[in-house]
Amino acid sequence: MVDIVDNVADFDEAEASLVDLGMQGEVSRTARAAKAEVWRDRMKLSENAEYVVFIPGAFDVLLRAPNGTVVTKKSKFHVSYVAKVPSQRNRYGDPCYCTCHNGLTKDPCLLHQVWMDDQARLRAAGSKEASVYTPKPQYAITIGRVSYFHKVPREYTRRDGSKGTAFDLERCREVDPIVDRENCDCPNCAQGLERVFGDRKYIQMGEGYRGSFVDIERQVGSVCATCGGEIRTKLFICPKCKKEGRMTVLMDPMRAVGMSEQDRESFWKTPRRCSCGYFGKPLEVIKCRNQCGAPKRRSIYDVAVPIRKQPSAGGGNFSTLVLAPSPVIAIAELNLPEEFKKTLVPHDFNAMFTMTVQEQSDLLGVQPGRGPSIPTGGPVDDEGGTSDEDIPF
């Protein structure tokens, strides 16, 4: 399996160059603001469908090549590796972020040292279980919520005991630009609370939600961006052979005798091996049913899509991300307010999801560079106990 991680090497260079205390203070304030966005801007999906637009980002990821070298590529997701450790504040544990790119680019960070020591302990004891400190990949992508919202006041207590007022955005039940306060179903409209359009958030995903996102992207892409016709697959070919001037067919949907429908449907996202030695996802050759001459899959970034979470058929806390039956709408047809459009930029995930060695140390309860790095009492393992959206990310 290919490991994918974020390239956060730039932060090491920046940290090493902070010789001016004033600059250190400014970076500290910036870091605190970014960490606040982790909790403030994360969208909690519900079973009620909501239209959102996905905001493209140019996130660096690192791939370890077969020869051992590391190459940088771009991804639509920001990827972090995170383990959870015990906390009195959070019954699921607090997130501890890997800072060594899952071991790809430098010596193991403190989290990975703890993980490797725990794995060694388990193996020495004859156990085949995976360490609960194993950093797991988590993905993030910025979205814009295409709805009206009310600024609802909320009172809070400051550290000095004084009272303050903050405002939370609460989704409006009405969809019209102008609402009759005497004839509406929204209590916030009836009270005359300030109303604004749009809300910039991000979605945090584990492997399950990420797979669902990719499936939704495929559904959206079943329409031709050129003419609106239906996109169909002609062939799946080897990308390496094509680059070298050869045409090696890995699968022809019209001649896939003996292949199950499920295998045909998932062929596009399943790594395949070619006789040339290539192993990876196949390259798709498409056609438009309208024969428009310029077939192209519609991009998920060109539309507003109705999404919601769907509880797992097996029950429990698990759920998945699904496309609701409402129609997909082209962004060009929405006539979004200019002020809202200006907010549709990616989050600075690198600043949001990073940690200093001291922060890792405080969470793990160990001192860096001091003997066996196994804390007393293991963290809570979330396997089977929670779902992607419940992870405190």
In the predicted model, is pLDDT for residue 387 greater than 70? no
Arithmetic mean of pLDDT, 369-383: 46
Q: What CA–CA distance (Å, rounded) separates 319 from 327? A: 22
Query: Which has the closest alpha carbon to 93: 66, 132, 63?
Result: 132
Half-sphere exposure of 54 (CA within 13 A, CB side): 22
- Confidence grade of residue 172 (pLDDT, cut at 50, 70, 90): very high
Which of 144, 141, 143, 137 is closest to 59 using CA atoms?
A: 141
pLDDT digit string (tens) for 273-312? 999 999 999 999 999 999 999 999 999 999 999 999 988 7
Q: How confident is the model at residue 378 (pLDDT cuts 50, 70, 90)?
A: very low
Q: How far apart are CA 148 and CA 171, in angstroms?
A: 6
Token couple for 393: 């990310």
pLDDT in the model for residue 79 = 92
| Cβ atoms < 10 Å from Cβ of 341 | 13
Reported confidence tier of residue 313, pLDDT bands at 50, 70, 90: confident
**Mean of pLDDT values over 96-112:** 86
DSSP three-state, residue 276: coil
Residue 15 predicted with pLDDT over 80: no
Rounded mean pLDDT of 135-160? 93
Looking at residue 174, its pLDDT comes to: 92
Q: Residue 81: pLDDT above 50?
A: yes
Average pLDDT over residues 77-104: 84
pLDDT computed for residue 216 by the predictor? 94
Taking CA 104 as the corner, what is the angle to CA 101 and CA 105, rounded to the nearest 5 degrees? Answer: 85
The angle, 0 to 180 degrees and rounded to 10, between the axes of the packed helices 357-364 and 110-124 is 40
Best CA proximity match to 137, nearest among 207, 74, 204 = 207
Highest mean pLDDT (candidates 27-31, 63-67, 167-171, 258-262)? 167-171
> What's the mean pLDDT when you consider all of the chain?
83
What pLDDT shows up at residue 19? 42
DSSP 198-251: EEEEEEEE-HHHHHHHHHHHHHHTTBBTTTS-BEEEEEEE-HHHHHTT---EEE
Q: Does the pLDDT at position 18 exceed 50?
A: no
Q: Which letter does DSSP use for residue 129 in this model? A: P
Q: What is the pLDDT of residue 22?
A: 45
Alpha carbon distance 195, 170 (integer Å): 9
Q: What is the pLDDT of residue 163?
A: 92
Token pair of 93 as six digits: 């544990």
State the residue for tokens 């955005």. 169
pLDDT exceeds cutoff 50 at 21: no
Q: Is the pLDDT of residue 208 over 80?
A: yes
pLDDT tens-digit map of 216-244: 999 999 999 999 999 999 999 999 999 99
Predicted TM-score of the model (pTM): 0.80
Residue 186 predicted with pLDDT over 70: yes
Name the maximum alpha-carbon separation found in the chain. Answer: 73
Q: Which amino acid belongs to residue 279? A: F
* pLDDT tens-digit series, residues 361-373: 988 888 876 544 5
What is the percent of the chain with per-residue pLDDT over 90, rounded to a whole number? 52
Cα–Cα distance measured from residue 10 to residue 172, given in angstroms and rounded to the nearest whole number: 41
